[in-house]
Amino acid sequence: MSLSPTRVRLALLALALGGFGIGLTEFVAMGLLPDLAADLLPDIWSVSHERANAQAGWLISAYALGVVVGAPTIAALAARLPRKQLLLGCVALFTLGTLAAAVLPTFELVLAARFLAALPHGAYFGIAALVAASLMGPGKRGRGVALVLSGLTIANVIGVPTITYLGQVAGWRIAYLVVAAVFAATFLAVLLAVPLQPGDPAATVRRELTIFRRPQVWLALLVGSIGFGGFFAVYTYIAPVVTSVAGLDATVVPWVLVAIGIGMTIGNFLGGRGADSSVIRTLFVCFAALGVSLAGLALTASSPVGLFFFAFLVGVAASALSPAIQTRLMDVAGDGQSLAAAINHASLNIGNSLGAYLGGVTIAAGFGYLSPTWVGLILVVPGVALAVTSVLVERRAARSELARGVALEEDAVLDRPLT
């Protein structure tokens, strides 16, 4: 059934609203990290703010690990399900997990709730990307992926700073109750606007998992998880960088988040257009830009101008990577499209967990709040190396395939009877 342009736009907006809610639940914790640390870890906070902030960073790591576990599990088990019903199930789980995080009393229980809320993250983005790509039509997959991700990046412009300010004023628990309300609204929007789309009736768990036999899939996942860790090493601890390194008031934190969010929004659309043109070129350009922006932030964060400018550039470069990696995975995954679309977010959140953890280790070791930025810069190096390896492997496979084709053609000529 053909859909009107208005219906298509409404469906894309509903999918993007889900991305907006995910952006809130994932990134608000970074802006409210000191508030979470002071409330949930009062004994450690009274002794050392740095140690408390470093341990509160586990809340970011727990969310990231939930994405890593949930993305392949849900995508593989549910590939046959109708896509709309799967999206609705994911949003319902988001709502319940975020609500639990807002009301549970202890650090350990909130940690578990963060893990639960993250389980549908990758599956939602993966299935939403497939729905958006089908709605956009051929030749526009990168832009379809970018449209779904636009909700997440716009959340970092408007939602995360607003909710961060609300959390600073009214308490972080009120902030998370508002995030749960956004997911409830998303459920209604998806229910009303997204058209029915069948799942893949031929999909099986075994078939979906065969994508892990492909070396290029592993290389793409590693590119995302290691290279993207540089962004999360910085973003996780941006609040204490603003207050302790730049010496600015806590009320400035939301404005720095706005700068990062604007950068992420611009980078997302640039990455989507770049992926439609050349995925590999886009990856290399983004990694180069990320390395430059991380180095600039590490060297100038004590200056408000340097902090805002390079935080913005970090957002641009890192966000542009996501649609490029997503498209690359869809290109190399063969029949396992549902799983490939979902595990991109698993790989990025391995980067999230890795960056948050390593940044916390360096802070707890006494290297200061800028040390995660240097950790991020170091992580860019293996990310680039893996991208280069992916290109070399692909070219070698193409040459081998060409050589086999030539040999088969020569054999056919030799076997042809003389006339």
Q: What digits encode the pLDDT tens for the residues 248-298?
A: 888 888 888 888 888 888 888 888 778 777 777 888 888 888 889 999 999
Most confident of 113-122, 317-326, 345-354: 113-122
Distance between CA atoms of residues 186 and 12, nearest Å: 12
Distance between CA atoms of residues 164 and 112, nearest Å: 22
Distance between CA atoms of residues 75 and 343, nearest Å: 8
Report yes or no: 143 and 102 within 8 Å, Cβ to Cβ.
no
Instruction: Quote the domain boundaries for residue 128.
Output: 5-415
Distance between CA atoms of residues 152 and 70, nearest Å: 19
Distance between CA atoms of residues 319 and 227, nearest Å: 12
pLDDT at 306: 92
By three-state DSSP, how is residue 4 classified?
Answer: coil
Distance between CA atoms of residues 238 and 400, nearest Å: 47
Q: Which residues of 186-208 are buried (b: 16+ CB within 10 A; e: fewer)?
A: bbebbeebbeebebbeebeeebb
- Cα 130–Cα 184–Cα 129 angle in degrees, nearest 5: 10
In the chain, what is the straight-line distance between the N-terminal and C-terminal CA atoms, in Å? 54
Of the candidates 320, 175, 180, the residue with the CA atom closest to the CA atom of residue 254? 175
What are 293's two structure tokens?
């922006």
* pTM of the model as a whole: 0.69
Distance between CA atoms of residues 400 and 234, nearest Å: 42
Report yes or no: 373 and 297 within 8 Å, Cβ to Cβ.
yes
Q: Number of structural domains, the chain?
A: 1
For residue 338, the one-letter residue type is S
Give the H/E segment covering residue 392.
helix 371-415
Q: Residue 139 burial (CB < 10 Å; 0-12/13-18/19+)?
A: exposed
pLDDT at 412: 53
**Residue with the larger pLDDT of the pair 76 and 215:** 215
The residue assigned the tokens 């209604």 is 188
> Does the structure show a pLDDT above 60 at 220?
yes
Distance between CA atoms of residues 148 and 267, nearest Å: 14
Distance between CA atoms of residues 382 and 219, nearest Å: 11
> Does the structure show a pLDDT above 80 at 141?
no
CATH number at residue 28: 1.20.1250.20
Distance between CA atoms of residues 147 and 45, nearest Å: 41
